[in-house]
Structure 1
Amino acid sequence: MTQTVFEPWNDPDATPLIQFQGVTKRFGDFTAIDDQTLDIYEREFFALLGPSGCGKTTMMRMLAGFEAPTEGRILLDGQDIAPIPPNKRAVNMMFQSYALFPHLSVWENIAFGLKRDRMEKSAITERVDRMLKLTRLEKFARRKPHQISGGQRQRVALARSLAKAPKLLLLDEPLGALDAKLRQDTQFELMDIQEKTGTTFVIVTHDQEEAMTVASRVAVMDHGKIVQADTPDRIYEHPSSVYVADFIGDVTIIEGTATPREAGYEIAFAEGQPPLYAETDKTFAKGQACHLAIRPEKVSITAEKPRDKRNALQGKILDIAYLGNISTYHVELPGGQVIKAQTANTRRLSRRTFTWEDTVWLSWTDTAAVLLED
């Protein structure tokens, strides 16, 4: 049985659950969101990613109903949500602080919203028990929030948010209070719960690794604009701009000028250095300023000059970052440009192949680097 790939954004017949249509949000003279149009589909785990002040939280607050657009419309299931107050929307929000009631048990915290909606007692019991099972909290049902761990409190907040079966769940930096190891475990739990419930999740985060791990698509934001919204692999491998390439993951960016050559372009970048070569779908004029973005894991480091690659540069090792599973070498070229190369540490290191001040060769294939406009 072939499994269908989930990518409704590539289906012209798919109807978005959420539509931002020319949305602008101003606070006085400050434009927080600048004329943005965006579609988010049912069952998506969508991430809004960017540095502080880029507008991602404002996007979320407009979805929740805490802010109204200055211009444009936001549709949920085809309905303009501007006139609908936050408590009447089919939207729930999970805050970074979790906002649990300290005097209520885990069970009572999850049931709180259902009781306020005057749901029948038997239906509340059934729903809360389902949420406890979903978030693996059954044995903690009678405990108070201070009697459970941070990761468990995070799951209680999630269970409470999902108990009312919202069409859309908003998560504001939901893993910010957890330590690194627990964050990683919880990311996979979040994905599992999202898949099981089929609820559309929109997460706001400044943690690129988190966004790339959990999301079906990521919108990278800068100064109130979405600069690229795409799947994590395309954001990483095919960034649309220098900003996105630089923001996501580790990268070396080389400035130069492009000249058409064969199926791609030659890039002149420094006096006394051989030109580099890259293949791309983009079109550049002769002598046009460009940026070449190359990921460290795509750069090979060798003692001898490789014969099979035309992108080959000689330099001296300036720094070495040992990260257990990988080592990153910062190699300086004679003109001062630093290029990063990464090697996997598949064996226990007794002695490094290369060390500081060693002269080495860096090389990569014709298609490994991404050529971007100035």
Structure 2
Amino acid sequence: MPQKIFAPWDDPQEKPLIRFQNVTKRFGDFTAIDSIDLDIYAREFFALLGPSGCGKTTLMRMLAGFETPSSGTILLAGQDIAPVAPNQRAVNMMFQSYALFPHLSVWDNIAFGLRREKRPKDQVAARVEEMLKLTRLTKFARRKPHQISGGQRQRVALARSLAKAPKLLLLDEPLGALDKKLREETQFELMDIQEKTGTTFVIVTHDQEEAMTVASRVAVMDEGKLMQIATPDRIYEAPNSVYVADFIGDVNIIEGKAHQVGELVQLDWAEGQPALAARTDKNLGLAQTCYLAIRPEKVSISADRPGGANALQGEIIDIAYLGNLSTYHVKLPTGHVIKAQQANTRRISRRPFTWEDKVWVSWTETAAVVLDQ
């Protein structure tokens, strides 16, 4: 039997675990969160993504109870959480700094919250052992935080956060202190642990790759507003604005005036240059300003003029070699720079193009996303 795809947000019968209803948060004259509506479902790994100061941490702190909304309601499992004290919520928060007790062993750090609840000793011991196993820390149980690596400390903080079996775990830039390789490994560990425990995770990050890797859905934020909420593939392939397209991954943006016939848009974008063609389901006004967003991996590069609609000639001014990929920066006569990406499939294959080569860049009518904002 095929496995059911996890997409509770597409099921009108599903009730969200968390619901933000018209939530605004002001600090004096500054609006950190601007009338946000947002639903997050049980068992989701949800990412809040955006640049520093966009409001993502404020949103998380309101869930944890460290901030209260200036207006609007936050519901957790159908209940308004405003009157509930932070330590009474079925919510736990894991901080960027991990905030471990340096004088306590790994075992005692994990047990700390359980002991404060005056749970029976055998119950505490069983739960700590379970968490040590889950986070693969059993053999480090007697060590102090300074005797283990950064990645292991991160797992201790996670084990401690999960020990009390919260409905919701909030992770504030949890992998920020780890180096790139370890961060990538830990992302998969986090996903694995989230799946095993079935806990709803909400992660705050400014690292787009991280959000795209771990999350079931991503909310892209800017200046206290939600710009787009969708699955990672939708955010990447079908961004709803230039801001989202530009924030996630690498992209070429070309501005112009639209002339639409049915699904086909002709874009007048530069004097003396042929119009560019793209397919869209949007209805654009005549000569309306719009934008084409084309990912570099969808742009082909060739020495000879290719057939098809969108073919432009330019000169290579830069090459970024990234091991598995090469990105060519091609400057057009108009001054626009188009990035084209090629996979390096052969080992030490002779690069077909080099600096100052005259080349053609091209893409299909369906490769570009047409955006009107």
Q: Distance in 2 between matches of 1:120 and 1:253?
A: 61
Partner of 1:318: 317
Provide the C-alpha distance between the structure 2 equivalents of 1:281 and 1:56, rounded to a whole number of angstroms.
32
Matched, 1:59 2:59: yes
Deviation per residue, 1:80-130 (Å, 9 max, x gap): 000001000000000000000011110000000000001111111110000
Letter in 2 for 1:258: A
Alpha-carbon separation, structure 2, partners of 1:144 and 1:260: 66
* Partner SS state of residue 165, structure 1: coil
What residue number does 2:328 align with?
329
1:349 is displaced (CA, Å) by 2.4
The equivalent residue for 1:84 is 84
In the alignment, the residues of structure 2 paired with residue 350 and residue 159 of structure 1 have an alpha-carbon distance, to the nearest angstrom, of 47
Instruction: Name the CA distance, whole Å, in 2 between partners of 1:149 and 1:89.
Output: 31
Secondary structure of the equivalent of 2:98? coil
Q: Secondary structure at the match of 2:151?
A: helix
Secondary structure of the corresponding residue to residue 211 of structure 2 = helix
Give the CA deviation at 1:160. 0.2
2:263–2:281 CA contact under 8 A, matched in 1? no
Cα deviation for residue 350 of structure 1 reads: 4.8
Partner of 1:156: 156
Aligned: 1:2 with 2:2:
yes
SS where residue 19 of structure 1 aligns? strand
Q: Distance in 1 between matches of 2:174 and 2:263?
A: 46
Indicate the SS of the match to 1:60.
helix
Q: CA deviation at 1:285?
A: 1.1
Partner residue, 1:338: 337
Corresponding residue number in structure 1 for 2:232 = 232
Read off the aligned partner of 1:357 and give its amino acid letter. E
Per-residue Cα deviation, 1:188-231 (whole angstroms, up to 9, x for no partner): 00000000000000000000000000000000000100010100
- Secondary structure in 2 aligned to 1:12? coil
TM-score under structure 2 length normalisation: 0.99
Which residue number in structure 1 is paired with residue 356 of structure 2? 357
Match of 1:70 in 2: 70
Matched residue SS, 2:132: helix
- After superposition, give the CA deviation of every residue in 1:297-320 in whole Å (9 maximum; x if it has no partner): 00000111112x211111110110
**Inter-partner Cα distance in structure 1 for 2:262 and 2:72:** 46
Tell me the SS of whatever aligns to 1:281.
coil
CA-based RMSD: 0.7
What are structure 2's unaligned runs of at least 5 residues? none
1:321 maps to amino acid: A
Aligned residue for 1:248? 248
Query: For residues 318 and 286 of structure 1, what CA distance do their matches in structure 2 show?
Result: 35
Residue pairs, 1:208-219, within 5 angstroms: 208-219=208-219
Shift of residue 273 of structure 1?
1.0
Q: In the alignment, residue 355 of structure 1 is paired with which amino acid? A: T
Shifted more, 33-42 versus 254-263: the winner is 254-263
In the other structure, the counterpart of 1:294 is: 294
| Runs of 5+ unmatched residues, structure 1 | none
1:18 corresponds to: 18
Aligned to 2:125: 125
- Range moving further from structure 2, 258-267 or 358-367: 258-267
For the pair 1:275 / 2:272, whether they are aligned, the reply is no
Kindly provide the amino acid, as one letter, of the partner of residue 345 in structure 2: T
Cα distance in 2 for partners of 1:334, 1:256 equals: 16
Percent of residue pairs identical:
76
3-state SS of paired residue (1:34): strand
Following superposition, the deviation at residue 263 of structure 1 comes to: 3.0
Distance 2:45 2:282 in 1: 30
Measure the CA separation in 2 of the matches of 1:65 and 1:356. 55
* Distance (whole Å) between structure 1 residues aligned to residue 80 and residue 263 of structure 2: 48
- 2:153 match: secondary structure: helix
CA distance in 2, matches of 1:19, 1:25: 15
Report the Cα distance in structure 1 between the residues aligned to 2:81 and 2:191, rounded to whole angstroms: 27
Matched residue SS, 1:334: coil
* Paired position in structure 1 for 2:137: 137
Question: CA offset at residue 347 of structure 1?
Answer: 1.2
For residue 229 of structure 2, give the secondary structure of its aligned residue in structure 1. Answer: strand
SS at match of 2:333: coil
Secondary structure of the residue that 1:37 maps to in structure 2?
strand
Question: 1:245-293: CA deviations, max 9, x gaps?
Answer: 0000000100101101353100110111111100011111111100110
The answer as to 2:266 corresponding to 1:260 is no
Q: Letter of the 2:131 partner, please give it.
A: M
Q: TM-score, normalised by structure 1?
A: 0.99
Query: Could you tell me how far apart the structure 2 residues matched to 1:361 and 1:232 are?
Result: 31
Task: Please list the CA deviations of residues 325-354 of structure 1 after superposition, one character each: whole Å capped at 9, or x if unmatched.
Answer: 100000011111110000001112253100
CA distance in 2, matches of 1:112, 1:289: 58
Q: Distance in 2 between matches of 1:231 and 1:351?
A: 38
